[in-house]
Structure formats: C-alpha cells, structure tokens
Amino acid sequence: MVVGKFNQTKGQSNAVMSLSNEVLLKFPQDFPIKIIGKVNWQFQQVIVKIIQEFDSEFDDSRVQSRFSKKSNYICLTVTVHITSRVQLDDLYCVLTGHPMVKIVL
C-alpha cells in the first residue's frame, strides 16, 4: 500500500504517475481498515488474530461488522494502532494474502 500523494505531470498518461515526497499520513495513529470476506463464523476471529500480530493491544471492541444485502459477505471495519508505514504495508500484505479475505480497503 502506498502512503503518499501521486502527482500527474504534463505529458504523462493516466497510467504513469510519480510519487511525490509529500506524506499524507503521520505515525503513530489509529487507522481504519475495511476487510471483506465470505460469511464464515471464524472470519472475525481469524482477522483479529492477524491484526494482533501487528497491534498487540487490539481487541474485538475495535471491530465493527456489517453483512451484505444477501448476507453472503461480511465487512469488518477495524481500527488498528499503526506506528509506521512499514507496519501498515506489512499488515495490508498479510490481509490481502489470506484466503478468507476478498478485499481490503
């Protein structure tokens, strides 16, 4: 996950952008992450365990859940205490690589 500001320069296509040095996030901070997966009774428990590897103080009180209209998917919004860009990037990679996770925002 890139934490910065993209600037498009004249003459570049929309697909070619450069990353400026301007940082949009300051650390440490509490950072909300949305995680979507198929409904499974273990989904929240698995996600909480993953996040606790990155934020040892994390618990269920910082999880909000919502089901899709047809109740096929669940969306968890978790608020994680992030201390660095590396920590955020690593957490994002672990979450997106998990087989139960469909989308991470």
- Tell how far CA 53 is from the center of its chain: 14
Domain boundaries of the chain, sorted by first residue: 26-104
Contact 47, 14 (CB under 8 A): no
The token pair at 22 is 């301007």
In this structure, whether the domain defined by 26-104 belongs to CATH 3.30.70.260 is answered with: yes
Contact 73, 34 (CB under 8 A): no
Residue 92 confidence (pLDDT):
97
Q: What are 80's strand-pairing partners?
A: 31
Residue 25 confidence (pLDDT):
82
State yes or no: pLDDT of 20 exceeds 50.
Answer: no
Contact 104, 96 (CB under 8 A): yes
pLDDT digits (tens, 9 = 90+) for 52-101: 999 999 999 999 999 999 999 999 999 999 999 999 999 999 999 999 99
pTM for this model (two decimals): 0.77
CA distances from 52 to 10, 11, 12, 22 (A): 44, 45, 42, 30
State yes or no: pLDDT of 5 exceeds 50.
Answer: no
